A and B are shown apart, each in its own frame.
Chain A
Amino acid sequence: MSDAENPSNPTPDEQTDFEPVQVFDDETEMDLRPGADNCYKCTTCDTTCPVAEVDDDFPGPKFQGPEQWRLKRKDDEDIDDSITSCSNCMRCDNACPSSVPLSQMHNTARGEYVDKQMDKLSREYLRNRLLSNYRIMAEIGSKVPRLTNFALNNSLVQKVNEKVLGITSERDFPEFAEQTFREWWHERGGAQVSSEEKKIAYFHGCYSNYNTPEVAKALVRVFEEFGYEIAVPRQRCSGTPMFANGMLDDAERAAEVNVSEFSDLIDEGYDVIASCTSCSMSLRQEYPELFEFHGTAEVSAHTYEAMEYLRIHEDLESEIEDASVEEQSFAYHAPCHARNQGLERQAVELFRELDGVNIEDVGDSCSGISGTYGWKDEKYDTSMKIGEEMFDHMEHAEGNVGMTECPTCSMQMEHGTGYDIKHPLQLLEEALV
């Protein structure tokens, strides 16, 4: 039925349903001053900030968030440049006893800073744009994975990256898989299980597509084992690295695709499952805080991390108790973004019941890499200082294989200890499939 056929004429009230708060050009115009009302300055956020702990010059989340916002006047444009030192670990969100929307304030301030104050021709801007659009690099690189892997980890290339782009040469680039997850998915002919009731739409994100398809494949096999029909819709980056770099326009474009694709599937009865805790965090929390596309709220409400979902809907505990694997020991690190979703204990609680497995939590510190943060030349030392506690605890743990849900935490764990790092889904696959 076209609008012309619609018999109900808009009433005058509907016509004046003008909402200027929601019709800003873009999200960087958001006014978060009222969000400062919740802050009573207790400073708990500052005590949990991993950057503030190692960097005395960093003023901390309370200043970056409620204080800076409260001090703003409407037309003020200067956001303090220390906002670029926030790693977007979002621990402050969890620490706050008073529900201050800290990471929303930080994301918005960072977006404003990049939009209005950063020189778009500066090396820093170009580098950050490149890092936050990792998916595009990966898309190209994975066309010729062997060449890319060789080239990126050539020490000369690394030096050039550091000098020209400010990407640290200390780290080795993650290798691209010879076959992406999506290529594999198409090759196998998509979903192998069909179901009317149990349907998930998989948000694999970039890393498990281009770099660790074994994680994505593990997810597919585990969920199919439990009888789920899986859809793998078209998708873009979740936006996490873009938020962390203040590239809100890029994030908005990516989010628009994701929300549109996944909300359609939600209408068909699917839930959204991510294997990366930052991806699920982004869809769940950051999208509704920063964007207002149709379907954003539905996507947020229907998104889960993979193991979380299985623990809710399946009797995973019994399955694990009945299973056994070869003797192995893990040093498990919970990513900050998993923590924010209340998921920091699930892997340990589950796998300690698994025959043959010894798993130890290496503590509640941050790994320090925070996505693209630890890749920046000027942030590398901070990143490694933050990571020290985790490295130390990993070395004292019995196992010499690391485990975590987050791709960049796993890079940091590997970088700091030399351990191999697994995703919990891989162990789940080994135990149950």
Chain B
Amino acid sequence: MTETPSVLVIGGGSTGCGIVRDLAMRGLDVTLVEKGNLTHGTTGRMHGLLHSGGRYAVSDQPSARECIEENRVLRRIATHCVEMTGGLFVQRPEDDDEYFEQKLQGCRDCGIPAEVLSGDEAREMEPYLAKDVKRAIRVPDGAIDPFRLCVANAADAIDRGARVETHAEVVDVLVEDDEIVGVEVEHGEKAIGIGDGEPGTREKLYADYVVNATGAWAGQIGEMAGVEVAVRPSKGVMTIMNVRQVDTVVNRCRPKGDADIIVPHETTCILGTTDEEVEDPEDYPEEGWEVDLMIDTLSELVPMLSEARTIRSFWGVRPLYEPPGTGTVDPTDITRDFFLLDHADRDGLPGMASIVGGKLTTYRMMAEKISNHVCETLGVEADCRTAEEPLPGSSDFSVLREWMDEFGIRSPVGRRSAQRLGSRTDDVLGRWDGPNPVVCDCEAVTRAEIHDAIDHSGTDLNAVRIRTRSSMGNCQGAFCCHRMANELIHDHDELVVRDSLDELYQERWKGERHALWGEQLSQAMLKHMLHATTMNRDGDPAASDSVIDFAAFDAGEAAPAAAGGATGDDPDRAATDGGTEGENADS
């Protein structure tokens, strides 16, 4: 066989992006298709915890061991996506001592460094913890940005020759002679996103092997192929706070329960979460009580949360899976382990495997295993190198620079830029020619970084958003959505830009509407008024389909002069009285 084997990966989440990078590094011809932008599904809707494994140290020790192993790998290969915040399992007076001991022992059994702190010591680390916390176990939890992680994986894959198509939804799985040979995708109507697909068209993509890495959507893809993949989607709510009340991951040390973790994430904190099974991963209720539960329960650990500002809430669906016949009732009891379903073995339908279950922290390990499986099936001999080679942006870098002298930007802006761009900082900021104003004030994103994101993601402003965090701060895009769109206008058609702006604006509103009280209500109202009154965005005729009846407007008193040659005193004079009655009444 002289031709390079081809693989098609469905799903642009962490697993899919990890697989496409892994296979591209092994020299295969890989294509990734994703129906939204990268991280559109579950990956972009998680709390950003880089597990130490501590959370599974009692209930699921194999997962815990995988977590600590991959935690160490990601700290090495994804430095610009990871912030090693450390983590605490905090025990309140009413929490069980025995469980605390089990947790500690479990961590030690799994090789997770664990240290017991007194309540006072924990509060010295995190002063906003409740005064009565009893003690805590310190573990190497961290924070990880799932957006940058996926984007870096995809970018590296593209550099190695992979094709990545976003906004390309799989509409059919192609089966020929009882074998899966590819998929048919529908490219989005609008010319946004990355890839070569012609907008609004369907395209058949053939490959030697197909990987279904669609997580909670795996059942739907399975159905297209005629196989059953019994994913049990389970929703969880996450609430984003405006600032970091804690700089360490704070877990509640008790067996299981809702609302037991606070993760410092970039400039914010994310409160999580709940666990409730849903029918459809795309259509489930998002309810106010879930958000209230988050804030109320976690205020027991960090009391100031009850008064603190929330900027949005979002829901994600876990792609939980258990082998047929296990029969677990409570979704919190379903294993967090992942499963590789080879449809050749399982259903007698070769050419495709599905990967379900799992979690972001172990995405690379999952990708490695499925890539091994793919290579084995296709008879390719190549070793996995993803645990050694850093992602683009994660080579050595420092956030300590002379930002003003070197790049002409303020130091907090430079520091945040470098925390996001990592070793790509010099490339992105240093090579930018021309003025480099801050586009997003809340998150300190400059024009250079926006353009770098546009270069890698096309006109999709939500894709720009996840790459840069622009519009993800406390004003939720009030002051920058339009500025971001403005960066597109020189190279793109006005209608394309307008669509992109609308999509970004709507996406922001999706989460904002769950935080409409207190300061964030003022913020949302200010945003609405600014956009309505200065950009006409509450009813822009140019954005609506209705034809404007220009004739309904008169042209003022001078109109007869212009139109009918009658006399008019001053043709420049505006009609302040609304014009003479009746002139255009019938036209």
Query: CB of B206 within 8 A of chain A?
Result: no
- Provide the residues of chain B in CB contact with A68, threshold 8 Å: 412
- Provide the residues of chain A in CB contact with B158, threshold 8 Å: none
Contact indicator A31/B127 (Cβ below 8 Å): yes
A73-81, A193-201, A216-224, A372-380: which lies at the B interface? A73-81
CB distance from B183 to the nearest CB of A (A): 43
A16 vs B128: C-alpha distance in the bound complex, in angstroms? 15
Interface centre among B83, B411, B473, B519 (most CB of A within 10 A): B411
CB distance from A261 to the nearest CB of B (A): 32
A32-40, A141-149, A269-277, A404-412: which lies at the B interface? A32-40
A378 vs B14: C-alpha distance in the bound complex, in angstroms? 52
Interface positions, chain A 1-59, Cβ under 8 Å from B, are 16-21, 31, 33-34, 36-42, 59
Query: CB of B123 within 8 A of chain A?
Result: yes
- Provide the residues of chain B in CB contact with A346, threshold 8 Å: none
The closest CB in chain B to the CB of A68 belongs to: B412
Query: CB of A126 within 8 A of chain B?
Result: no
Binary B-proximity of A207-246 (CB < 8 A = 1, otherwise 0): 0000000000000000000000000000000000000000
Query: CB of B245 within 8 A of chain A?
Result: yes
A20 vs B400: C-alpha distance in the bound complex, in angstroms? 29
CB distance from A37 to the nearest CB of B (A): 4
Interface bracket on A: 35 or more
Query: CB of B234 within 8 A of chain A?
Result: no
Interface centre among B119, B132, B309 (most CB of A within 10 A): B309
- Provide the residues of chain B in CB contact with A59, threshold 8 Å: 410
A to B contact number (C-beta, < 8 Å): 95
Contact indicator A34/B127 (Cβ below 8 Å): no
- Provide the residues of chain A in CB contact with B308, threshold 8 Å: 34, 37
The closest CB in chain B to the CB of A67 belongs to: B441
Contact indicator B519/A38 (Cβ below 8 Å): yes
CB distance from A76 to the nearest CB of B (A): 7
- Provide the residues of chain B in CB contact with A36, threshold 8 Å: 242-243, 474
Q: Is the interface of B mostly helix, strand, loop or mixed?
A: loop
Contact indicator B243/A18 (Cβ below 8 Å): no
- Provide the residues of chain B in CB contact with A33, threshold 8 Å: 243-245
- Name the contact of A67 in the complex, choosing from B123, B442, B478 (C-beta under 8 A): B442
Query: CB of B522 within 8 A of chain A?
Result: yes
Q: With A40-B474, A41-B442 known to touch, is A71 a contact of B123 (CB < 8 Å)?
A: no
The closest CB in chain B to the CB of A35 belongs to: B243
CB distance from A55 to the nearest CB of B (A): 14
Interface positions, chain A 48-106, Cβ under 8 Å from B, are 59, 62-63, 67-76, 78-82, 98
CB distance from B266 to the nearest CB of A (A): 9
Query: CB of B124 within 8 A of chain A?
Result: yes
- Provide the residues of chain A in CB contact with B244, threshold 8 Å: 33, 73-74
- Provide the residues of chain B in CB contact with A82, threshold 8 Å: 410
Interface positions, chain B 116-153, Cβ under 8 Å from A, are 119-120, 123-124, 127-128, 131-132
- Provide the residues of chain B in CB contact with A39, threshold 8 Å: 474
Query: CB of B231 within 8 A of chain A?
Result: no
Contact indicator A70/B526 (Cβ below 8 Å): no
CB distance from B419 to the nearest CB of A (A): 8
Q: Is the interface of A mostly helix, strand, loop or mixed?
A: loop
- Provide the residues of chain A in CB contact with B412, threshold 8 Å: 67-68, 71-72, 78-80
Query: CB of B444 within 8 A of chain A?
Result: yes
Query: CB of B561 within 8 A of chain A?
Result: no
- Provide the residues of chain B in CB contact with A20, threshold 8 Å: 120, 123-124, 127
- Name the contact of B444 in the complex, choosing from A17, A62, A69, A71 (C-beta under 8 A): A71
Interface centre among A63, A67, A72 (most CB of B within 10 A): A67
- Provide the residues of chain B in CB contact with A62, threshold 8 Å: 441
A41 vs B478: C-alpha distance in the bound complex, in angstroms? 9
Query: CB of B160 within 8 A of chain A?
Result: no
A340 vs B36: C-alpha distance in the bound complex, in angstroms? 51
CB distance from B161 to the nearest CB of A (A): 38
CB distance from B84 to the nearest CB of A (A): 12
CB distance from A159 to the nearest CB of B (A): 30
Query: CB of B156 within 8 A of chain A?
Result: no
Binary A-proximity of B382-424 (CB < 8 A = 1, otherwise 0): 0000000000000000001000100000111101100000000
The closest CB in chain B to the CB of A33 belongs to: B243
CB distance from B531 to the nearest CB of A (A): 13
Contact indicator A70/B411 (Cβ below 8 Å): no
The closest CB in chain B to the CB of A24 belongs to: B127
- Provide the residues of chain A in CB contact with B171, threshold 8 Å: none
Contact indicator A18/B415 (Cβ below 8 Å): no
- Provide the residues of chain A in CB contact with B131, threshold 8 Å: 16-19
The closest CB in chain A to the CB of B243 belongs to: A33
Q: With A20-B124, A34-B304 known to touch, is A41 a contact of B441 (CB < 8 Å)?
A: yes
Interface positions, chain B 299-345, Cβ under 8 Å from A, are 304, 308-309
Q: With A68-B412, A71-B416 known to touch, is A34 a contact of B243 (CB < 8 Å)?
A: yes
- Name the contact of A78 in the complex, choosing from B243, B415, B442, B522 (C-beta under 8 A): B415
CB distance from A363 to the nearest CB of B (A): 29
A69 vs B442: C-alpha distance in the bound complex, in angstroms? 11
Contact indicator B245/A98 (Cβ below 8 Å): no
Contact indicator B519/A98 (Cβ below 8 Å): yes
- Provide the residues of chain A in CB contact with B444, threshold 8 Å: 67, 71
CB distance from A393 to the nearest CB of B (A): 32
A212 vs B123: C-alpha distance in the bound complex, in angstroms? 50
Contact indicator A41/B411 (Cβ below 8 Å): no
Interface positions, chain B 193-250, Cβ under 8 Å from A, are 242-245, 247
Contact indicator B242/A70 (Cβ below 8 Å): yes
- Name the contact of A80 in the complex, choosing from B123, B410, B522 (C-beta under 8 A): B410
Give 7 new A-B contacts, CB below 8 A, not counting A40-B519, A42-B526, A73-B247.
A16-B119, A20-B123, A31-B127, A59-B410, A68-B412, A70-B242, A79-B412
3 closest residue pairs by CB, A with B: A37-B309, A74-B247, A40-B523
Query: Can you list 28 residue pairs at the A/B interface with Cβ under 8 Å?
Result: A16-B119, A16-B132, A18-B119, A20-B127, A33-B243, A34-B243, A34-B245, A36-B242, A37-B242, A38-B309, A39-B474, A40-B474, A40-B523, A40-B526, A41-B474, A41-B479, A41-B523, A63-B410, A67-B442, A68-B412, A69-B243, A70-B473, A71-B443, A74-B244, A78-B412, A79-B412, A80-B411, A81-B404
